[in-house]
Amino acid sequence: MKKSNSLPEPVKKKERVQKVLANLGVGSRRSIEELIRQSKITINQKTAELGQLIYGDEVIHINGRRIHIKKKDVFETRLIIYHKPEGEIVSHSDPKHQLNVFQNLPKIKNGKWISIGRLDINTSGLLLITNDGNLANHMMHPSKQIDREYSVRILGEVTEMIIKNIKAGIKLEDGIAHVDEFEHAGGEGANQWYKMILREGKNREIRRIIESQNLQVSRLIRTRYGPIQLPTYLKRGKFKELEKKDIDKIMKSLEII
Q: Is residue 219 part of a domain?
A: yes
Q: Is residue 3 part of a domain?
A: no
* Angle at CA of residue 136, ends 66 and 25, nearest 5°: 10
Instruction: Give me the CATH number covering residue 133.
Output: 3.30.2350.10
Mean pLDDT (the chain) is: 87
The total number of structural domains that make up the chain: 3
pLDDT band at 70 (very low <50, low <70, confident <90, very high): low
Instruction: Give me the CATH number covering residue 47.
Output: 3.10.290.10
Q: Is residue 8 part of a domain?
A: no
Which domain covers residue 195, as residue numbers? 147-225
Rounded to an integer, the average pLDDT of 195-212 is 92
Supply the pLDDT for residue 5: 46
- The reply to whether 120 belongs to the active site is yes
Q: Is residue 212 part of a domain?
A: yes
Q: Is residue 10 part of a domain?
A: no
Does 222 score more than 50 pLDDT?
Answer: yes
Q: Which of 57, 73, 120, 248 is catalytic?
A: 120
Q: Is residue 179 part of a domain?
A: yes
Same domain, 83 and 192: no
Does 82 score more than 80 pLDDT?
Answer: yes
Supply the pLDDT for residue 187: 80
Distance CA 192, CA 201 (A): 23
Longest dimension (CA), the chain: 90
Q: Percent of the chain having pLDDT more than 70?
A: 93
Q: Is residue 20 part of a domain?
A: yes
Q: Is residue 38 part of a domain?
A: yes
Which residue, of 29, 47, 67, is where some domain finishes?
A: 67
Same domain, 105 and 44: no
